[in-house]
Structure 1
Amino acid sequence: MNEPVYLDHNATTQPGPEVLEEMLDSLRTVWANPSSTHAPGQAARRALTDARARVATFLGCQGAELVFTSGATEANHMAVLGALALGRERGRTRLVLSAVEHPGLLALAARLKAEGQPVDLIPVNAQGQLDLEAARGLIRDDVALVSVMGANNETGVLMPVAELAALAHAAGSPLHVDATQLVGKTTARFDAGGADLWSVSAHKLHGPKGIGALVVRKGLVWPALFSGRQERQRRGGTENMPGILGFAAAAERAGLTLADDLARMRSLQARLEGGLRAALGDVHLYGAQAERLPNTSCLRFGTLDAEQVLGRLERSGVVASSGAACTASGTQPSHVLLAMGETPLQAKASVRLSLGRETRADDIDRAITAAVQAIGPLLEPARPAAEPQAA
């Protein structure tokens, strides 16, 4: 029996063999605490320093700018809560986000707002593109932080990071970018985009879960979310050595094949979207006129409920999702699509197909065939009722 076609790489990716090998080796050879002064501890410290340099090279930052975290969610919290703590010292109280941020960050913003923290959301247009005119009106000299995802996890639409950086810096505010979906899917680098903070997560680029980083631009003194002496006193807790070394292996591998991976995924994305639209007809592609990630296709098949579509696809050998993995239960319409002007019915019909570096042309062809067989009959127009027979 064929393995299912996996088209949910924006949710997570399979750890590469080089990642598993390095993680397992670390448990054998550098298991000591890297803060210890004895020889085993110092061997672990050297491995940590080397891993930090490898990740930093891939991200386009300095090793000293890299703060290892448990993932992008923690990094996002560290960025937001740190900025608000610093902002209060300067009379800056507002937080400005986009309306289509990851649910985890919007949940933090909602909690802060309920506690009295001023929060403003930058709207997007029907293509999912950020409204820069609205951003100009919101980013003023009372803003503690502007935070935006580099690429939307549901639609793949890219955000205008450079323009936002200029607006934020003109107002005296730092810019934080949730780069979780950027790394491994674009050529974006921390040192080239103008952001002051970047959040990343290893499991989005074939690394392990439970490890990520916040990149803090050199010169910024950032408050710790967890107190302790590790990570230059910016993130307490004994370092996750297997996770960090797995992250380094994944980053190194991604850097070696990035150009080829991006070109191949872009070609396969066009093959998938063109094939589905040609075969099924009633297919709406979100963000079709916007600059998008080369691996992400957010689609609606008529107004068929996403859970029905995904269930039929999985029974036909294709696995995908209806958006962010943490909110893909199907009980609520996508907040991203609602922000783009879709109705709740339409927003509950979206399906996200996200490709990865293992995706091949035959996977795309299998996915199209499965969609035609599983979804096609549901999209066929109902036949008119037969005329009553004459007596």
Structure 2
Amino acid sequence: MGCGGQRARPHARVRARVPRTMKRAYLDWAASAPVHPAARAAAIEALEVLGNASSPHAEGRRARDWVERAREQVARLCRCSPREVIFTASGSEANALAVIGGSRAVGGRVAVSAIDHPSVLLAARSLGTEVLTLPCTPEGTIDLERAEAILAEGAGLVAVQVANNETGVLQPVREIAALAARAGARLHLDAVQAAGKIDLGFAVERAHTLSLSAHKIGGIAGAGALVVRRGSEPDPAIPGHQERGLRGGTHALVAIAAFGAVAEAVERELSARRERILRATKEVERIVREAAPDAVINGGGAERVPGIVNVRFPGVDGETLLLALDLAGVAASHGAACSTGAMEPSHVLRAMGLDPAEARSCIRFSVGESTTDEELALLASALEPALRSARL
């Protein structure tokens, strides 16, 4: 089916000739998106706001107004009530609060998917309770038949992604939600890579908790959010009176203000934004196939969110390829930014059935709404020579 499961008008084919003024192509949006103009403007304005949002005086009330405005903006993006939005410092913290705090609140076993983000997997393993692993298919979707058998034995909490951070593959959220309900379990959804690319209403309707990260959609690092449905509160990880007592600590006003502003912009332009990302994604896929006809797009037969193209280049060393592309001006990645630097085979790709050598031959390109033809031209120019230098 390919990215997004729908056809889009083709992106203008970029030429391999690179303009002299073009120096870098940033194709690692899934790690961190460039700061959106709306987020930048809000952050600059919020820097002038004096006061702690918990203080009762006029300055504190003004800071509080900024926090609550951002809460409303994020809630509109998530299709939930503002009261259900709990601000955190990152998507990883939101996942940890949902998994650790959620498990402590309900007890029982925890079920995670084999392809979950490290922040979910590590949080689950830290609990000291039994962790059930839901396997996936070769296309990178949770294997529903095997998941049903595993969850039939019962669980207290089930945590899965809406879209995978390495392949972009959309997970069967509706079916997993039904299995979790049948098992009597709470459901946590990691929507970090899905936010800003698809409408989250269907996911929020089915989840007890759902996580977001500001800098993945064009905010600035230092803010995340956990949507907590009424009656599904996790045990707090950081005690304090802020955020309904679920996450203590002084609000990071600048990061939260930027988060709210970009959430509003993304929600308002969701359809057009998705279309722009989809066109750029299709062009990356064309460039890859032209440079390497034997390349394989991981998860290419499944429905995916636009923006992520994870490619296996047979007979190529991925680390060498990354370095060659970087020297040519192209920023890409192996996979999850949280594990970049280790250069270990991706646990996601291994769960999909790739052997270690195959997993090491994979590169993730990720694009966004403002990826330019010039950046794609640089990729088109750089990829084939980089592949030659990385052949084993």
Residue 191 of structure 1, CA deviation: 6.3
CA distance in 1, matches of 2:47, 2:279: 39
Note if contact 1:200-1:214 (Cα within 8 Å) is conserved in structure 2. Answer: yes
Note if contact 2:114-2:136 (Cα within 8 Å) is conserved in structure 1. Answer: yes
1:99 is the counterpart of 2:111: no
Equivalent residue for 1:18, pick from 35, 38, 53? 38
Q: Which residue of 1 aligns with 2:47?
A: 27
Equivalent residue for 1:80, pick from 99, 110, 114? 99
Equivalent residue for 2:176, pick from 146, 160, 164? 164
Q: Which residue of 1 aligns with 2:138?
A: 126
Unaligned runs of 5+ residues in structure 2 are 1-20
Q: Which residue of 2 aligns with 1:45?
A: 64
Determine helix, strand or coil for the equivalent of 2:111: strand
- Give the residue type in structure 2 aligned to 1:44: A
Larger radius of gyration, structure 1 or 2? 1
Note if contact 1:9-1:354 (Cα within 8 Å) is conserved in structure 2. Answer: yes
CA distance in 2, matches of 1:250, 1:369: 33
Note if contact 2:281-2:306 (Cα within 8 Å) is conserved in structure 1. Answer: yes
Residue 376 of structure 1, CA deviation: 4.1
CA distance in 1, matches of 2:233, 2:120: 22
Residue 240 of structure 1, CA deviation: 1.3
Unaligned runs of 5+ residues in structure 1 are 383-391
> TM-score of the superposition, structure 1-length normalised?
0.91
CA distance in 2, matches of 1:85, 1:249: 33
- Give the residue type in structure 1 aligned to 2:116: E
Residue 16 of structure 1, CA deviation: 1.8
1:179 is the counterpart of 2:191: yes
CA distance in 1, matches of 2:131, 2:356: 24
User: Where do 1:212-291 residues align within 5 Å?
Assistant: 212-291=224-303
CA distance in 2, matches of 1:290, 1:190: 19
Indicate the larger mover: 198-207 or 131-140: 131-140
1:329 is the counterpart of 2:348: no
Return closer, same or farther for 1:300/1:141 CA change in 2, 3 Å cut-off: closer
- Give the residue type in structure 2 aligned to 1:326: C
> TM-score of the superposition, structure 2-length normalised?
0.91
CA distance in 2, matches of 1:354, 1:193: 28
Return closer, same or farther for 1:234/1:111 CA change in 2, 3 Å cut-off: closer
Return closer, same or farther for 1:145/1:221 CA change in 2, 3 Å cut-off: same
- Give the residue type in structure 2 aligned to 1:321: S
Root-mean-square deviation (CA), in Å? Answer: 1.7
Residue 162 of structure 1, CA deviation: 1.1
Q: Deviations over 1:28-78 (max 9, x none)?
A: 13x211221111111222222222111111111111001000111111111
Q: Which residue of 2 aligns with 1:389?
A: none
Note if contact 1:307-1:330 (Cα within 8 Å) is conserved in structure 2. Answer: no
CA distance in 2, matches of 1:328, 1:282: 26
Equivalent residue for 2:161, pick from 149, 160, 165? 149
Determine helix, strand or coil for the equivalent of 1:143: coil
- Give the residue type in structure 2 aligned to 1:307: E
Determine helix, strand or coil for the equivalent of 1:303: coil
Residue 243 of structure 1, CA deviation: 1.2
Higher relative contact order (CA 8 A, sep 6+): 2
